[in-house]
């Protein structure tokens, strides 16, 4: 319940996700109420400037009732806000409040708004659709496909799917299995059913993958338009073809062989692309393999209430854009229902030691970039001859060693205090663990992992050997030749 004291506190806090100030009642006030109804609810304080100064109002007996009626008549479904008058410092203000509306989205004069921080954001068609689906705890792929029928999907693929789950292996009737998962309702297939089991070609699932020698020179490519389950294997086959093998010196008699990228992380990224893609978007999913990185672009940004920072912190509630597709992938063990995939990608890259991963909300989609962090490992491939060549060029040439030292000195000068402390700790104790670094710096383990990845990308630190038995090598010359 609002009181004069609580109103004063709200004014002191300033405008935010659930608070807006207006000097007078009008269309803008109704838009703010509409945005609150479509988001988390909130209060519009009438008679307060946007800087938090109480300017007061001149009211007659019918003013507040007229405001409520105007709000009701201009919104659909109709919004009826609570309205209370308060006198603060001898001036009258009105607090008009609404809770989050249960049936969304709500329109005002045919337009839809939501609250983003301290402003009202007009919704586009995609956002309107998402809010509507979330209201009914549904998703786009759950709805009946009006463009396709049972004749457009392969029942043989449905049977093959059932054999990948031991609990479904005895189900011989593909139609019954489709009905079990509500992929077939009243004789009509859902959008998920079509994407999962399409017979042959469909442009809806298009994925373009290419091997690039430069931003414009493509030396190999593949275009995939098959069902989603087949795409997983086809994409991984293409990517493995362009992985390189490198050797790691671990102290053991024989060198350890590995791919230049962690296969588990790459597979997890591919699965996330397919499961969480926005199939309403006409754009293709795109994978670009360069000499030093792989870029994955997928139509569909992160949900508005989820930032990249929250994603990396692993402190968020997972949301599924395609609930039925996600469920079917979970049923055969390809994904987990509750998202931990991003953290597994980060951990796999950390354990691999030769690459780092970054995540970006970009235009109308989401991009993941996996970058090699050790330029020497990019060049050392399979032969001792190339290893010797690198040693000759980088390790034994004084001029290039000095140049490398100068560059790294400049990089160190640009680091912040936490990065410098990490370098100091790993230099003093090359077997220090990440939890020990976190304890000494009083930072979280996730933050330390991110900082170490950054230092690896800059070529200032290297992990030698396995995550448990290995050690840190700080790649900085302490003394420089005259």
Structural domain spans, the chain = 4-124, 140-200, 206-309+335-375, 397-474
| Neighbouring residues of 407: CB distance < 8 A, sequence distance ≥ 6 | none
What's the CATH architecture for 4-124? 2-Layer Sandwich (3.30)
pLDDT band at 303 (very low <50, low <70, confident <90, very high): confident
Query: According to CATH, what is the number of the domain 206-309+335-375?
Result: 3.30.565.60
Q: Which residues pair with 192 in a beta bridge?
A: none
Q: Report pLDDT digits (tens) over 69-105.
A: 999 999 999 999 999 999 999 999 999 999 999 888 9
Instruction: Phi first, then psi: give them for residue 120, nearest 5 degrees.
Output: -105, 120
Orientation of helix 434-441 relative to helix 445-457, angle to 10°: 110
**Confidence at 5, pLDDT banded by 50, 70, 90:** very high
Percentage above 70 pLDDT, the chain: 87
The answer to whether the beta carbons of residues 48 and 9 sit under 8 Å apart is no
pLDDT above 90 for 178: yes
> Which of 228, 225, 235 shows the shortest CA–CA distance to 296?
235
Task: With a cut of 90, say whether residue 149 has pLDDT above it.
Answer: yes
| CA gap 128, 122 in Å, rounded | 10
Q: Do residues 422 and 460 touch, judged by C-beta distance below 8 A?
A: no
Long-range CB contacts (< 8 A, 24+ apart) of 442-448?
Answer: 443/418, 446/312, 446/313, 446/314, 447/418, 448/422
Note the pLDDT tens digit of each residue in 321-341: 899 999 999 999 998 755 567
Distance, in Å, from the CA atom of 193 to the CA atom of 183, rounded to the nearest integer, reads 5
Give the pLDDT mean for 14-32: 97
- Higher-pLDDT residue of 416 and 318 is 416
- The helix or strand, by DSSP H or E, that contains position 93, with its residue range, turns out to be strand 91-98
Mean pLDDT of 386-404: 48
pLDDT band, residue 248 (cuts 50/70/90)? low
Q: Do domains 4-124 and 206-309+335-375 have the same CATH topology?
A: no
Q: Which of 72, 73, 93, 94 is nearest to 81 (CA)?
A: 72
Q: What is the DSSP code (8-state) at residue 54?
A: B
Q: Which residue has the tokens 């019954």?
A: 176
Average pLDDT over residues 49-76: 95
Q: What is the pLDDT of residue 379?
A: 43
Asked if the model's pLDDT at residue 62 lies above 50, the reply is: yes
**Averaged pLDDT of the chain:** 86
Token pair for residue 326?
A: 């996600």
d(Cα 339, Cα 343) in Å, to the nearest integer? 9
Distance CA 202, CA 107 (A): 36
Structure tokens at 325: 């597709």
**What is the torsional sign of CA 201, 229, 134, 17?**
negative
In the CATH hierarchy, which fold is given to the domain comprising 397-474? Arc Repressor Mutant, subunit A (1.10.10)
Is the separation of the CB atoms in 194 and 273 below 8 Å?
A: no
Per-residue model confidence (pLDDT) at position 115: 95
Give the pLDDT of residue 383: 41
Q: What distance in Å separates the CA atoms of residue 121 and residue 416, rounded to the nearest whole number?
A: 36
């Amino acid at each position: 319940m609002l009181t004069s004291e609580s109103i004063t506190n709200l004014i002191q806090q300033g405008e935010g996700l659930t608070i807006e100030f207006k000097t007078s009642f009008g269309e803008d006030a109704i838009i703010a109420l509409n945005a609150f109804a479509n988001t988390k609810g909130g209060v519009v304080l009438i008679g307060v400037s946007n800087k938090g100064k109480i300017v007061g109002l001149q009211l007659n007996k019918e003013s507040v009732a007229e405001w409520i009626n105007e709000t009701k008549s201009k919104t659909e479904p109709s919004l009826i806000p609570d309205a209370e008058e308060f006198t603060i410092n001898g001036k009258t203000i009105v607090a008009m409040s609404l809770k989050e509306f249960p049936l969304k989205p709500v329109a005002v004069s045919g337009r839809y708004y939501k609250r983003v921080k301290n402003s009202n954001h007009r919704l586009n068609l995609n956002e309107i659709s998402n809010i509507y689906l979330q209201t009914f705890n549904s998703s786009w792929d759950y709805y009946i496909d009006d463009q396709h029928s049972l004749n457009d999907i392969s029942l043989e693929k449905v049977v093959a799917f059932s054999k990948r789950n031991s609990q479904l292996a005895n189900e011989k009737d593909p139609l019954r299995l489709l009905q079990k998962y509500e992929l077939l309702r009243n004789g009509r297939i859902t959008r998920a059913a079509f994407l999962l089991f399409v017979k042959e070609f469909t442009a809806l699932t298009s994925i373009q993958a290419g091997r690039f020698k430069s931003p414009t020179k493509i030396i190999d490519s593949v275009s995939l338009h098959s069902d989603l389950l087949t795409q997983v294997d086809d994409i991984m086959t293409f990517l493995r073809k362009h992985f390189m093998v490198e050797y790691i010196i671990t102290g053991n008699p024989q060198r350890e062989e590995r791919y230049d990228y962690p296969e588990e992380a790459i597979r997890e990224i591919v699965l996330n692309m397919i499961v969480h893609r926005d199939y309403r978007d006409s754009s293709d999913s795109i994978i670009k393999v360069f000499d030093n990185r792989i870029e994955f672009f997928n139509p569909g940004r992160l949900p508005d209430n989820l930032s990249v920072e929250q994603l990396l912190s692993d402190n968020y509630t997972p949301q599924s854009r395609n609930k039925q597709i996600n469920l079917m992938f979970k049923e055969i063990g390809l994904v987990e229902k509750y998202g931990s995939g991003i953290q597994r990608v980060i951990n796999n890259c950390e354990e691999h030691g030769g690459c780092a991963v970054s995540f970006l909300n970009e235009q109308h989609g989401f991009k993941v970039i996996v970058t090699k962090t050790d330029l020497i490992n990019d060049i050392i491939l399979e032969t001792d001859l190339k290893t010797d060549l690198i040693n000759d060029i980088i390790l034994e040439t004084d001029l290039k060693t000095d140049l490398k030292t100068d560059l790294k000195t400049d990089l160190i000068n640009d680091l912040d205090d936490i990065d410098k402390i990490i370098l100091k700790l790993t230099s003093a104790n090359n077997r220090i663990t990440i939890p020990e670094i976190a304890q000494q710096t009083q930072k979280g383990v996730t933050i330390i992992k991110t900082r170490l990845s950054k230092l690896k990308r800059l070529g200032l630190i290297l992990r030698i050997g396995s995550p448990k038995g290995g050690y840190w090598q700080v790649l900085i010359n302490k003394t420089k030749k005259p």
